[in-house]
Amino acid sequence: MRLSTRNQLTGTITEVNLGTVMATVKVKLDGGNQIVTSSITRDAALDLDLEPGQAATVFVKSTEVTIGVE
């Protein structure tokens, strides 16, 4: 599979929380302790058979990136 999305982060799924309609999936990125949380549909999470311990790639495509500082 080839994708136009250039921001691809590899890691391991640490948590999958299935709601009624949506699901949240937490992925610990390789090489550190950073966690990325994604909200996807429940159906998508079930179709992908997502579960903790599974290797995954996080794809980030956005028209806006926000940075905050103290």
- All structural domains of the chain, each given as residue ranges with its CATH number in brackets, are 7-59 (2.40.50.100)
Is residue 5 pLDDT above 90, yes or no? no
Q: Which residue has the higher pLDDT, 20 or 70?
A: 20
Is residue 28 pLDDT above 80, yes or no? yes
Name, in order, each residue with C-beta under 8 angstroms of 42's C-beta and a sequence gap of 6 or more: 18, 19, 20, 21, 22, 23
Task: Tell me how far apart the alpha carbons of residues 43 and 53 are, in angstroms, rounded to a whole number.
Answer: 20
Q: Which residue has the higher pLDDT, 23 or 60?
A: 23
The pTM score is 0.86
Is residue 7 pLDDT above 90, yes or no? no
Name, in order, each residue with C-beta under 8 angstroms of 50's C-beta and a sequence gap of 6 or more: 13, 16, 23, 25, 56
**How far is it between the farthest Cα atoms of the chain?**
41
